[in-house]
């Protein structure tokens, strides 16, 4: 019995177009491939490609046309059919897969492999005219965008990067007391695993794929849904827009909602990383409640020169009584790393030196981060050193320490 799979492969090659059962490639296709296409299981490609790639796009109800188009794409090696690129796509396996997907992959490799090997021996299939490659073009940009590894890196850049704001209460390595008080559902972060966290958020329905903007992950953080943790960042501010964008895009991909890459929205090219450094500014000048204000933090070199590149940003709204403003600071990806794929080593990005703080009242919180970084500032102050992470160690300064920039000149 153990010899059987080998025997079938060998006999198909030896007896030309007919397999051991005397089947033509089309018959093999009907028996082995069509059931895979009709199955309710997702194809193996979906282990990594959430949209833009699907077996059904390449394998239609017409085996001869399908074989011709696979050949036109360069995905069939007629000399060594078992080494065909198409079979290599199917054989790809993510680091973490499920038993179900392993089974799907195995059935596809066997069934489609048998059909490809038989077709590569079949003069009729080999002599068919190939379609023009330009008529087969895939939407590369959509394919790339909807790949799981790409989605995951956007999740890390846009959402996971801000979880320092949530971890004290929602990460099981830190939230013992919170869990005692409020229950197990408090833990929805999986420490050190963005992949599992995204999966958990989805399972727990904290991400709403149908109406992404109504996701509890976002509405709780904004305090729009009553939240035991209060308001974590301002509505329509940079973090909120990043979360909204990630969730909307993710929902669209999961619902197979994009028909072309033209529908993919623009993403902010600047990555940020939330620190546990809390900054509070008291004794504010008269400002309306809820006014959106950002504070930009710039390094001062040992020679006393202010680095023009913004090191960190804090965004928040003026408190109810109008007297204070506070938030945790986000590190900004250095310009020379932008638009590269390398990940940023944020851990070493916290030099202890003097800093200049720039106070900017922003009327339109929806302005892009790039623009915010270029806005003129009127008030500034300096601090002597970095401070410690955590709410209780928040750096609190009085607004009276800020000086008007024009007065300093
Ligand atoms: C284990 C994850 C994984 C699986 C499963 C997977 N792919 Fe991919 N695929 C990738 C990655 C990563 C890239 C981009 C990098 C590369 O080209 O290797 C890619 C690129 C592609 C490309 C474009 C580049 C090229 O080589 O032409 C096509 C087409 C493609 N995959 C088709 C498929 C098909 C069809 C399936 C299912 C039969 C599939 N993939 C299954 C990860 C996967
Ligand atoms: C100081 C503690 C604290 C912090 C920090 C905090 N939360 Fe919460 N959060 C709570 C408490 C308490 C609850 C349970 C009561 C409730 O649902 O509001 C909760 C509940 C939630 C829930 C609902 C969980 C469920 O399954 O019912 C979500 C989602 C959530 N928080 C999101 C966030 C996000 C996102 C952040 C960070 C941006 C955050 N929280 C930061 C205290 C906190």
* pLDDT tens figures, 268-288: 889 999 999 999 999 999 999
| Ligand 1 binding pocket mutation candidate from 42, 43, 57, 89 (most atoms within 8 A of CB) | 89
From 228, 233, 247, the mutation candidate for ligand 2 (largest count of ligand atoms within 8 A of CB) is 228
The per-residue pLDDT for 340 is 67
Buried/exposed code over 199-208 (b: 16+ C-beta within 10 A; e: otherwise): ebbeeeebbb
Q: Whose CA is nearest to atom 15 of ligand 2?
A: 228
Cβ burial of 28 (10 Å; 0-12, 13-18, 19+) is: buried
Instruction: Please report which ligand is nearest the Cα atom of 94.
Output: 1
**Binning pLDDT at 50, 70 and 90, where does residue 341 land?**
low
**Residues within a 6 A CB radius of ligand 2:** 165-166, 168-170, 182, 185, 204, 206, 216-217, 220-221, 226-229, 232
12 pLDDT exceeds 60?
no
Span from the CA of 201 to the centroid of ligand 1 (angstroms): 26
- Quote the pLDDT of residue 349: 73
Q: What mean pLDDT do residues 334-341 have?
A: 74
**In the predicted structure, residue 203 carries a pLDDT above the cut 80:** yes
Mean pLDDT of 207-213: 98
Q: How far is the CA of 277 from the centre of ligand 2 (A)?
A: 19
Q: Which residue, judged by its Cα, is nearest atom 13 of ligand 2? A: 228
| Higher per-residue pLDDT: 6 or 168 | 168
Determine the Cα–Cα distance for residues 161 and 315; give it in Å rounded to an integer: 15
pLDDT at 359 over 90: yes
Decide: 90 and 44 in contact? Cβ < 8 Å.
yes
Mutate to test the pocket of ligand 2, among 169, 187, 230, 394 (most ligand atoms within 8 A of CB): 169
Pick 6 or 359 by higher pLDDT: 359
* 2-16, 69-83, 227-241, 297-311, range with the lowest pLDDT: 2-16
In the chain, % of residues over pLDDT 70: 93
Spacing, Cα 86 to ligand 1 middle (Å): 9
Q: Which atom of ligand 2 is nearest to the CA of 218?
A: 35
pLDDT at 218: 98
48-75 mean pLDDT: 94
- CA-nearest residue for atom 33, ligand 1, is 89
pLDDT reading at 70 higher than 60: yes
Residue 197's pLDDT is 97
Q: What is the 307 CA–ligand 2 centroid distance (Å)?
A: 37
Per-residue exposure over 225-263, b if at least 16 CB sit within 10 Å of its own CB, e if not: eeeeeeebbbbebbbbbbbbbbbbbbbbbbeeebeeeee
Name which of 69, 86, 66 is nearest 77 in CA terms.
86
pLDDT at 395 over 50: yes
State the distance from the centre of ligand 1 to the C-alpha of 89, rounded, in angstroms.
6
pLDDT band, very low/low/confident/very high, at 322 (cuts 50, 70, 90):
confident
Q: Is 15's pLDDT higher than 70?
A: no
What pLDDT is stored for residue 396 in this prediction? 97
Using CA positions, which residue lies closest to atom 26 of ligand 2? Answer: 185
Residue nearest to atom 29 of ligand 2 (CA): 217
Overall average pLDDT of the 312-318 stretch: 96
339 pLDDT tier (thresholds 50, 70, 90): low
Average pLDDT, the chain: 91
Q: In the predicted model, what is the mean pLDDT of residues 261-265?
A: 97
Closest C-alpha to ligand 2, atom 18: 227
CA of 111 to the centre of ligand 1 (A): 19
pLDDT (0 to 100) of residue 157:
93
Alpha-carbon distances, residue 363 vs 4, 259, 331, 366, 384 (angstroms) = 73, 36, 22, 9, 30
What is the arithmetic mean of pLDDT over 322-349? 82
Average pLDDT over residues 62-77: 97
Average the pLDDT over each of 101-105, 147-151, 332-336 and give the range with the smallest value.
Answer: 332-336
Q: What is the pLDDT of residue 409?
A: 60
Please report the atom of ligand 2 found closest to the CA of residue 225: 18
Between the CA of 187 and the centroid of ligand 2 the distance, in Å, is: 9
């Amino acid at each position: 019995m153990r010899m059987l799979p080998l025997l079938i492969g060998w006999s198909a090659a030896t007896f030309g177009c007919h397999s051991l059962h005397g089947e033509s490639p089309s018959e093999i296709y009907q028996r082995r491939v069509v059931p895979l296409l009709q199955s309710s299981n997702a194809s193996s490609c979906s282990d990594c490609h959430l949209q833009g790639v699907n077996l059904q796009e390449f394998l239609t109800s017409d085996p001869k046309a399908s074989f011709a188009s696979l050949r036109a794409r360069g995905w069939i090696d007629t000399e060594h059919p078992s080494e065909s690129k198409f079979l290599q796509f199917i054989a790809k396996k993510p680091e973490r897969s499920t038993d179900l997907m392993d089974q799907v992959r195995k059935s596809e490799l066997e069934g489609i492999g048998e059909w490809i090997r038989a077709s590569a021996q079949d003069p009729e299939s080999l002599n068919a005219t190939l379609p023009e490659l330009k008529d087969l073009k895939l939407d590369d940009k959509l394919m790339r965008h909807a790949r799981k590894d790409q989605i995951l890196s956007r999740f890390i850049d846009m959402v996971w990067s801000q979880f320092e704001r949530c971890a004290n209460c929602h990460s099981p390595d830190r939230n013992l007391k919170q869990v005692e008080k409020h229950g197990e559902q408090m833990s929805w972060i999986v420490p050190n695993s963005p992949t599992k966290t995204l999966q958990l958020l989805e399972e727990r329905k904290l991400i709403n794929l149908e109406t992404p903007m109504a996701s509890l992950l976002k509405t709780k953080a904004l305090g729009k849904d009553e939240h035991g943790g209060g308001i974590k960042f301002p509505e329509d501010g940079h973090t909120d827009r990043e979360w909204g964008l990630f969730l909307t895009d993710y929902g669209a991909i999961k619902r197979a909602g994009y028909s072309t890459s033209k529908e993919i929205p623009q993403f902010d090219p600047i990555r940020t990383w939330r620190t546990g450094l809390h900054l509070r500014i008291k004794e504010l000048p008269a400002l309306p409640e809820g006014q959106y204000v950002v504070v930009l933090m710039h390094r001062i070199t040992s020679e006393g020169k202010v680095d023009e590149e913004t090191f960190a940003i804090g965004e928040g709204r003026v408190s109810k009584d109008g007297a204070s403003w506070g938030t945790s600071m986000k590190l900004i990806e250095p310009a020379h790393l932008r638009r590269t794929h390398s990940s940023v080593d944020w851990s070493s990005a916290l030099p202890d030196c003097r800093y200049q703080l720039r106070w900017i009242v922003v009327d339109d919180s929806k302005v892009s981060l790039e623009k915010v970084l270029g806005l003129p500032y009127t008030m500034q102050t300096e601090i002597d050193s970095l401070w410690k992470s955590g709410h209780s160690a928040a750096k609190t300064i009085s607004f009276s320490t800020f000086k008007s920039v024009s007065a300093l000149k």
